[in-house]
């Protein structure tokens, strides 16, 4: 099971390309699609995340999205909104996802030996499903069997990994989680999974060994 940011993909791509793209297109996207069911559902989720009494209106949604972006808060509703904006960018050929060169090679090898490769990322499942077909290494969807995001629970809480393990056909101790965040690896270990720290370019070298 793989994290995305800092594991399969560069942190710089997320922060220097994806996040600025979502911010630049936020206002236009919300105005264009305001009456669409998907966006109205996101408004409800963002209000829920903020513990508001009712769904946000258009201006409140934009203001809350900017607040969360400014604070780099990985709220579920915001991730869903960013995912929809990125979808628009991918659909129009404005975005292409970065993956490290070893990722497609590893995914293919894992697939060939019968491994069940899945993703657990703070980015929404919708955004994940958009990212892997549109990478700079081509369409990687064939190598990924499942996707999870924070709707299943926070990445730093062991219950999230218990839920994910229950959906795998393998026992928890047969699942290896790869991430660049030690708190996430500790949570996975607490749920009985194996874990390994990824050290990618641009990340600090915190050499912690996981079994």
Q: What is the CATH number of the domain that holds 174?
A: 3.40.50.1000
Q: Give CA–CA dist 91/132, Å, rounded.
A: 13
Look at residue 51 in the predicted model and tell me its pLDDT: 94
204 close to 7: Cβ distance less than 8 angstroms: no
pTM of the entire predicted model: 0.75
Both 73 and 103 in one domain: the answer is no
15 close to 133: Cβ distance less than 8 angstroms: no
- 92: exposed, middle or buried (Cβ count in 10 Å: 0-12, 13-18, 19+): exposed
Assigned domain for 150 exists: yes
> Terminal CA-to-CA distance of the chain, rounded, Å?
15
Tokens 């999230």 label which residue? 160
**86: closest CA among 48, 55, 139, 123?**
123
Look at residue 202 in the predicted model and tell me its pLDDT: 67
Domain final position from 58, 91, 124: 91
Q: Give CA–CA dist 15/106, Å, rounded.
A: 25
- Ordered mean pLDDT values, 10 residues apiece, the chain (211 residues): 94 89 97 94 94 91 96 90 92 92 96 95 87 93 94 95 92 96 96 95 51 38
Both 125 and 159 in one domain: the answer is yes
**175: closest CA among 183, 103, 185?**
185
Assigned domain for 1 exists: no
Both 187 and 116 in one domain: the answer is yes
Domain final position from 73, 91, 109: 91
Look at residue 55 in the predicted model and tell me its pLDDT: 84
Residue 148: DSSP 8-state: E
Number of domains in the chain: 2
Assigned domain for 7 exists: no
Q: Give CA–CA dist 183/177, Å, rounded.
A: 12
DSSP H helices, 34-172, are: 37-49, 58-71, 76-91, 102-112, 125-131, 158-167
Both 105 and 189 in one domain: the answer is yes
| Segments forming the whole domain that contains residue 37 | 12-91
Assigned domain for 144 exists: yes
Q: Across-strand partners of 5?
A: 9
Q: Give CA–CA dist 97/51, Å, rounded.
A: 33
Residues in contact with 20: Cβ distance below 8 Å, sequence separation at least 6, in sequence order: none
157-170 tens-digit pLDDT: 999 999 999 998 88
Q: Give CA–CA dist 108/73, Å, rounded.
A: 33
Question: For residue 83, what is the domain's CATH number?
Answer: 1.10.720.60
Q: Give CA–CA dist 150/97, Å, rounded.
A: 21
- 28: which 2 tokens? 């236009």
């Amino acid at each position: 099971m793989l994290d995305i940011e800092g594991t399969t993909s560069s942190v710089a791509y997320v922060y220097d390309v994806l996040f600025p793209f979502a911010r630049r297109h936020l206002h236009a996207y919300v105005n264009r699609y305001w009456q669409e069911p998907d966006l109205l559902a996101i408004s409800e989720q963002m209000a829920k995340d903020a513990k508001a009494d009712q769904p946000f209106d258009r201006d409140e949604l934009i203001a809350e999205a900017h607040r969360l972006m400014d604070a780099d808060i990985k709220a579920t509703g915001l991730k869903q909104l960013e995912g929809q904006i990125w979808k628009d960018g991918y659909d129009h050929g404005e975005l292409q996802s970065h993956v490290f060169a070893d990722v497609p090679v590893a995914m293919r090898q894992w697939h060939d030996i019968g491994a069940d490769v899945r993703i657990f990322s703070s980015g929404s499942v919708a955004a994940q499903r958009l990212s892997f077909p549109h990478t700079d290494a081509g369409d990687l969807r064939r190598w990924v069997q499942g996707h999870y995001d924070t709707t299943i629970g926070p990445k730093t809480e062991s219950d999230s990994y218990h839920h994910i393990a229950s959906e795998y056909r393998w026992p928890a101790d047969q699942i290896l989680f790869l991430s660049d965040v030690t708190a996430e690896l500790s949570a996975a270990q607490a749920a009985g999974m194996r874990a390994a720290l990824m050290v990618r370019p641009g990340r600090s070298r915190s050499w912690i060994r996981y079994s």
